[in-house]
Amino acid sequence: MTTDVIEQDSHDEHHDEHKMTGIKRWLYTTNHKDIGTLYLWFAFIMFLTGGALAMVIRAELFQPGLQIVEPDFFNQLTTVHGLIMVFGAIMPAFTGFANWMLPMMLGAPDMALPRMNNWSFWILPFAFAILLGSFFMESGAPNFGWTFYAPLSTTYSNGSTAFFVFAVHIMGISSIMGAINIVVTIMNMRAPGMTYMKMPLFVWTFFITAYLLIAVMPVLAGVVTMLLTDTYFGTSFFDAAGGGDPVMFQHIFWFFGHPEVYIMILPAFGIVSTIIPAFSRKRLFGYSSMVYATSSIALLSFIVWAHHMFTTGMPLFGELFFMYCTMLIAVPTGVKVFNWVATMWRGSLSFETPMLFSIAFVILFTIGGFSGLMLAMTPVDFQYHDTYFVVAHFHYVLVTGSLFSIYAGAYFWLPKWTGHMYNDSLSKWHFWCSLISVNLLFFPMHFLGLAGMPRRIPDYALQFADFNKWVSIGGFAFGLSQLIFLAVVIKCIRGGEKAPAKPWDGAIGLEWTVASPAPYHTFSTPPPQQDIDNANQHEH
């Protein structure tokens, strides 16, 4: 391996001469690693922005009564917080991982469509400039919830619908281009000898996620277009006066929306499935079953959307159908959780920061999964619907699920990206502060929801005051803890202990056969078959 690494290094120097400098390097880049970096930084900036909005929300909810913001502005905060975290933080972060890691894991020199790759990133800042810019306009930012139900977003819109729709269109185009790029890369750019079932599970999860994106982002584009014409051009898709139906909005929206939530969690499964075997010093337990489980989750995600709408007055048959289909998803998800546990079983575990985040992911994501199972049951959903129980559920799967996996992945590959080891004790501080505060933040929300506190409301009844105080304290602590991560990353880029090509002794994968930091161009010649065979995740 050593000779290869040296060879890559010399190529690196050679190609560095062709790199543009300054801002042009980043504006014109078609290099998958540069674009991956751009995506990751963009996602982190958006994460801090969306987080800042959440801090204002939690400050308002610290005490009962209205203290800091007007109810209408509170609605804008919850709406934009949701939109930014979904479309601006989690999704671009995963696209960043895909860009950085897929070519290296597949033994490919770059993504298949590098110019489109550049474009798909650079339209994103404009989308979020439009969305955030609407805060400074007379009408204010979107205030109808990230789910933008009609007629809240049509008849009762505060005038921000057009900005919202165009922002979503641009985000959608960006996601679709990113997804097409991922699919084409995986289908056509695999190194010779890397068959589909030899691909790392990480690659599989992104492959399936990209297909989901290609299937549902156009539906989102369609539904926001209908919203636009309903609001400004006199159509009546969702307007009962003109023969339309507002409930139909929810059907079309959730036909997009439910696969969307798997778009935000399947890549997390891929990341965790890479990290847990590495620090258990074992191969992934049940690789094939993981591939099939991921595919079944993706397929099932298309036939469960109406579980978001149990209270719209569906007939009993519909409620039963969607309830059983939803509960069925627990089966492939359970396969995954048990496979991760089985991977750790009798492994030589060590608890580096990526592993800590991954184990926290498995436990806390499972809690989020269980509350999801409770929500799937139609009769009890009537009580939980639109309460803080739902808020607790989706924050457990998105924050301690998706976000924790992103942190795990970031710590795991930071040495590969920067060439330096991160500061270990600072990263442990980040983990433990995050872990404690995130549970203080989201766990009491379950009880608030069960006791009947509705979501998206800036005030609450007095009996919820104590829990809300603790939740807010957890929120502020969690927000501050994320700044530790920023410090770790900056320190790691600037310097630190030099990272070897493979800093984790249990890690497998082609990305560890190249030097750290990864040279600007990798695998301009395909890797040898021996490396590909060593990198596959099947148990021996």
Partner 1 sequence: MSTDEHKANINKNTNTDTGISISNNNKTVKKLLLVVIAMFGFGFALVPLYDVFCDITGLNGKTNSTAVAYTASSVDESRTVRVQFITRNAKGIPWAFEPVINEIDVHPGEMKLVSFYAKNNATHDIIGQAVPSVSPGLAANYFHKIECFCFTQQPLAAGKDVEMSLQFYVDLELPTDIKTLTLSYTLYDITEKSS
Q: What is the DSSP code string of 332-399?
A: HHHHHHHHHHHHHTT------HHHHHHHHHHHHHHHHHHHHHHHHSHHHHHHHTTBHHHHHHHHHHII
- How many CB atoms are located within 10 Å of the residue 434 CB? 25
Give the residue, chosen from 46, 124, 203, 221, that forms a contact with partner 1 under the rule CB under 8 A. 221
**Spatial CA neighbour of 506 closest among 533, 537, 529:** 537
Q: Residue 524 is encoded by which pair of tokens?
A: 């301009």
The type of residue at 178 is G
Q: Which is nearer to partner 1, 104 or 217 (CB)?
A: 217
Touching partner 1, residues 136-175 (CB under 8 A): 155-156
**Stretch touching partner 1 by CB under 8 A, among 69-77, 234-242, 261-269, 429-437:** 234-242
Q: Which is nearer to partner 1, 124 or 177 (CB)?
A: 177
Give the residue, chosen from 523, 527, 532, 536, that forms a contact with partner 1 under the rule CB under 8 A. 523
Q: CB-based contacts of 281: which residues, under 8 Å, 6+ apart?
A: 347, 348, 349, 505, 506
Give the residue, chosen from 184, 373, 377, 451, that forms a contact with partner 1 under the rule CB under 8 A. 184
Q: Tokens 């990798």 correspond to what residue?
A: 522
Q: State the number of binding residues for partner 1 (CB under 8 A).
A: 50
Which burial class, exposed, middle or buried, applies to 188 when counting CB atoms under 10 A from its CB (0-12, 13-18, 19+)?
Answer: exposed
Quote the CA–CA distance of 57 and 120 in Å, as a whole number.
31
Which residues are known catalytic residues? Answer: 81, 110, 146, 174-175, 258, 260, 262, 273, 307-308, 333, 336, 455
Q: Tokens 């469509």 correspond to what residue?
A: 113
Based on the shown chain and the rule CB under 8 A, indicate whether residue 227 belongs to the binding site for partner 1. Answer: no
**Stretch touching partner 1 by CB under 8 A, among 50-58, 105-113, 325-333, 435-443:** 105-113
**Stretch touching partner 1 by CB under 8 A, among 93-101, 180-188, 265-273, 412-420:** 180-188
**Stretch touching partner 1 by CB under 8 A, among 46-54, 80-88, 453-461, 519-527:** 519-527
Q: Residue 306 is encoded by which pair of tokens?
A: 């109406």
- For 235, phi then psi, to 5°, come to -80, 170
Based on the shown chain and the rule CB under 8 A, indicate whether residue 180 belongs to the binding site for partner 1. Answer: yes
Q: Which is nearer to partner 1, 57 or 515 (CB)?
A: 515
Binding mask 190-219 for partner 1 (x = CB under 8 A): ------------------------xxxxxx
Query: 420 forms bridges with which residues in the sheet?
Result: 498
Q: Which is nearer to partner 1, 338 or 520 (CB)?
A: 520
Based on the shown chain and the rule CB under 8 A, indicate whether residue 454 belongs to the binding site for partner 1. Answer: no
**Stretch touching partner 1 by CB under 8 A, among 243-251, 262-270, 295-303, 407-415:** 243-251
Q: Are 48 and 56 in contact (CB under 8 A)?
A: no
Torsion of CA 62, 68, 72, 74, to 10 degrees: -40
**Spatial CA neighbour of 535 closest among 191, 189, 220:** 191
Q: Which is nearer to partner 1, 136 or 317 (CB)?
A: 317
Q: Which is nearer to partner 1, 114 or 145 (CB)?
A: 114
Residues in contact with partner 1 by CB under 8 A are 7, 11, 14, 108-110, 112-114, 155-156, 176, 180, 183-184, 187-189, 214-223, 226, 234, 237, 240-243, 245, 247-248, 251-252, 255, 313-315, 318, 521, 523-526
